[in-house]
Chain A
Amino acid sequence: MMAKNRKIPGALRALITFRTLCLAPAVLYLLLLFGYPTVFNIKLGFEQEDAAQFILHSPTFNGLANYQQLIHDSVFLHALGNTAIFGVVTVSLQFVIGFGIATLLNKTSPFYTVIRSALLVPWLLPLIVTGNVWIWMLDGFYGVLNYVLVNLHVTSHYVAWLSSPHLALGAVIVANTWLGIPFNVMIISAGLRSIPDSLYEAAAIDGAGSFRRMTAITLPLLKDVTGTLVLLGAVYSLKLFDIVWVMTQGGPANATQVLGTLEYQDTFTANEYGYGAAIANVMLVLSCAFAVLYVYLSRRRKVKSQVRRPGNARSWLKEGTEVDAHA
């Protein structure tokens, strides 16, 4: 094996050079449009800069002061908590409801295909449109939700859903969940369709009920899909801005503030660029942590599944693991 490798380097080197040339435009784009702003933002997180300083190009370096202030800022901690709540509630509800709808519509007839496609429409609408529609539905004077609830005698008077700190958070979570259900349905449907019917038939013959079939066959085989959806949902919740900003702007009184809206407010309304950058850096670190966790978990699963494969040792040695000759 060692002899083979000595012959490869020359050819490999040539391949890498050509590959580098092909990658160069994409890498350049990433460096300029993501790399530079990210590094600049990291630097800005260590500075204090308000609008006047920005105009005069004279930020003041203040070390970790922004981050120290963040830790003691009750609004930031509240926003962090809200983001976590949004993430957990939205992702789980979306998955459960999406799974239910996908299972219901998991039949291969054109009718069901049309319904599954029609379900995508809410997800395709721009968030500004969705947000405004929800604002009007929840309006304290003219909202359709209030009208229905009062006429069904569920509530006695009109409720200002988006003006109460306790209700506003729930309302925005509902809107956010509603948004993401179609996407979940789509991905889970694809996952469901990839599970062969023979497995279900075999389990049915063995006497497994429908609940047992779901827990023993469907959910385990959907692990990859679930993992992807959870990661996407988590990252989306971290970045959450549009729907909250359109519906409540983080109010009333910071009740629905999330990291994205707080960062926007501190940077562009209060013009505290350094502080806003610090919040953005926290979001960046959290997103990276999720991404790293996801890659680590999926790679561990890949290796595990390779190691567990039956067959002779040589076949999985060839496939991608290396034995230390000195062990």
Chain B
Amino acid sequence: MPKIRSGLRSERRDGRRFLGIAAVAAAGIIGLAACSSGASSGGASSSSGQAIQPAVGKGAITLTEYDYYTSSYEEGAIETAISAFEKKYPNVKIERETAPYPAVTKLVALESAGNTPNIVIADQDYLSQYYAGLVPLTTFFTPSFINEYLPGGTESATLNGQEYGLQVLGGNDTALIYNKTDFAKAGITEPPSTWEQLEADAAKLTDPKENRYGFALSGSQQEGSTWQLEPFVWSDGGTLSNPGGAPWHQAMDLWTQMIQAGSIPKAVTGWEQTDEESHFLTGNVAMQLNGPWEIQQLQQSGIQWGVAPYPTKSAGQTLSVPIGGEAWSVGRSTPEKEAASAAFIQFLTNDTALNEQLTNAMGYLPALKSESASYATKYPAYAVFADEFKNGKARVYGQNYLKVSTDIQVMIGNVLSGSQSVNQALTTLQGQVSAIPG
């Protein structure tokens, strides 16, 4: 039986020739790929550790500014800040660049290409990802200047012992927002201040036939879920490094009991804070955990709303709430531009009247100690948020807060959806957190 090989001999020769060409091409590409990465240095030349005075030089200077503000009031505030600075220093022009929240990918790409924006306004939760293109602020400012800001915000923007950002136009936190009309209908006179009251009130306010639920929180896989759990855990004495401890168990037990009783809609495993707000505005939930940025929407909604601090496990415990918002940083660039960027931060810090006006326009709480003292009395709608903010805590876990937070988010999703028991989920979480260096 003759051996049969398929294909024309010339076809096989073409095939071998093609393989030869492909091999050469592949070798070329591999060489190109190997050469392109690794050798080049990153970023523009940076200033060394020497101090630089914040100052605006003579001559035309163009600074680039980067943020993720897209709502009309936030943009209004930032643009007012920019115009005020440009008015004082007519030779300076600040160009604004935005990207949708959290805008970290684009920022990292810009830094990697050596085009770090001069003024970076970004979520300090992600600082561990974008700090490599920034200049520590101690290069420009004295410790007493930095000390004008509340410690929580400053600590959130500290990495490897270096201070990278200040919450110039304030920051935010969350509190319990409740529907006063629903409370009156259910006969509840005061917002809950302990967990027991929260559970009882939520049950009274729930009416599944009317698709109305007593309490809502954020349970989907994003930072908003972790940062709503943190007040429950921290106020009871828990820490991020010990998820196996009693405070975590008790907090998750509370959430599980409420969701099993039907006071929290099962849909929360897919909700972010915006979903809580939209369902609150339509009357589907009577209590939600949300932040001061919602106040403008609430004021226009026609709902009788009130704000209360997070309930604590037992009466009299100190409430400890995580701080959010944006840190303003200076990107690596020429010394002249870095000095001008620092001058922008200094300008907005020293002009406290403008600072307070813009902080309020943003819907934020002031991070400057001098403003924070009287803010609650001046703006009663923000009083609860401002008081919580004064004692607000930074969310840190070495360089790896985001990793820990992701594991916490998955744990929350597993517990709220019922696919894992609280014990199982927290034991897994403890194992995961122990393996993350902090």
Q: Which residues of A contact B (CB under 8 A)?
A: 5, 8, 12, 16, 27, 31, 35-36, 39-40, 43, 50-59, 140-141, 157-160, 162-166, 248-255, 268, 270-271, 299, 303, 307, 320-324, 327
Contacts and interface: CB of A to CB of B under 8 A. Distances in A.
Nearest to A267: B105
Contacts of A271: 104, 108, 129
B109 to A, nearest CB: 9
B17 interface: yes
Contact of B129 (A51, A59, A255): A51
A254 B425 CA distance: 14
13 contacts: A31-B25, A40-B37, A51-B132, A52-B128, A160-B265, A163-B266, A165-B414, A252-B417, A253-B410, A270-B402, A321-B6, A322-B5, A322-B9
A322 B12 CA distance: 11
B51 interface: no
B279 to A, nearest CB: 7
A163 B270 contact: yes
Interface string B19-32: 00000011001101
B182 to A, nearest CB: 16
Interface of B: 1-10, 14, 17, 25-26, 29-30, 32-34, 36-38, 40-43, 104-105, 108, 111-112, 128-133, 208, 211, 219-221, 265-271, 279, 284, 402-403, 406, 410, 412-414, 416-417, 419
Nearest to B1: A327
Nearest to B282: A141
A140 B266 contact: yes
A141 B279 contact: yes
B32 A16 contact: no
Given A16-B17, A57-B37, A303 B6 contact: yes
A31 B29 contact: yes
Given A39-B30, A51-B132, A56-B42, A322 B4 contact: yes
Nearest to A27: B25
A68 to B, nearest CB: 15
Contacts of B414: 165, 253
Nearest to B399: A52
B3 A327 contact: yes
B35 to A, nearest CB: 11
A57 B133 CA distance: 12
Contacts of B412: 253
A164 B5 contact: no
A205 B3 CA distance: 44
B5 A252 contact: no
A253 B419 contact: yes
B175 to A, nearest CB: 24
A270 B407 CA distance: 11
Contacts of A322: 4-9
Contacts of B129: 50-52, 271
Contact of A164 (B38, B40, B417): B417
A286 B14 CA distance: 28
Contact of B6 (A160, A248, A320, A327): A320
A43 B33 contact: yes
Contact of A162 (B7, B25, B32, B270): B270
Contacts of B43: 55-56
Contacts of A307: 4
B37 A268 contact: no
Nearest to B105: A268
Contact of A51 (B26, B108, B267): B108
A43 to B, nearest CB: 6
Nearest to A158: B211
Nearest to B420: A253
